[in-house]
Copies of this chain bind each other. A is one copy, B any other.
Amino acid sequence: MKITWLGQAGLLFETGGKKILIDPYLSDSVAKIEPQNYRRQPIDERFLKIAPDMIVITHSHADHLDKETLCHYLSKDSSVTVLAPSGAWQEIRSFGGLKNNYVLFDNGTTWTESFASFRAVKAEHSDKNAIGVIVGENGKNYYITGDTLYNEKVFESLPDCAIDFLFLPINGVGNNMNFHDAKRFAQRIGAKHVIPIHFGMFDNVDPSEIKLKNKKVLPLYQSVIL
């Protein structure tokens, strides 16, 4: 899988010519409501011009479901399969478009395409419908936890499968895990590789403070093969 970190929780997955966007935040819209949460990272406008096949939104907060970003992908003429949990689903489907397929994606649901599968799992967050997602492709499992605290219900919701790559928040504010709990989370999951995300956008969090041998910090806006 070709993977590009877009900053904050934004990810672009590419496989077999298909483009999957997860929680893209490529604007400064949050700062209009919360001035202290201005972007510390530039916007790479190349990523506003792509035509995604799928968009996955993990919850309704504005740095995950960002209408100023999404309006570049969703229109009357686009053909996108959009996966979003209750709340976010009601919000994002207001983009309309008869060729877009807005799929309710609550904890427990699997949506399968020929190129990848998507399983919604629980996230424990202030949006109580928040989810994480496990993307299955070519025999590998990529688990993006979504914004979450360390909660037993998250573990109970997970299918019995090995996780190859774990993407998780480490910023410790806004109902996300801090370094300690993110480390415990990663160890409990037993993922082969751990990728910290959700830092550097509204803060100066240093991912080197999370001590894990199998940690991998992705370079911003540069694709890697994972």
Contact = CB atoms under 8 A, between A and B. Distances in A.
Contacts of A109: 124, 149-152
A14 interface: no
A195 interface: no
Contacts of A180: 112-114
Interface in A108-148: 108-114, 124-126, 128
Nearest to A90: B126
A175 B110 contact: no
A18 to B, nearest CB: 14
Interface string A161-183: 00000000000110100101100
Contacts of A150: 109-112
Contacts of A8: none
Copies in the complex: 3
Q: Looking at chain A, what size class is its interface with the partner chain?
A: 20 to 34
The majority secondary structure among interface residues of chain A is: loop
A36 B36 CA distance: 45
B86 A104 contact: no
Interface string A90-113: 000000001001011010111111
19 contacts: A86-B128, A101-B173, A103-B149, A104-B126, A104-B149, A104-B175, A106-B151, A108-B153, A109-B150, A109-B152, A110-B150, A110-B151, A110-B184, A111-B149, A112-B180, A112-B184, A113-B178, A113-B180, A114-B180
Given A101-B172, A103-B175, 12 more contacts: A101-B173, A104-B124, A104-B149, A106-B151, A108-B124, A109-B152, A110-B150, A110-B151, A111-B150, A111-B178, A111-B181, A112-B181
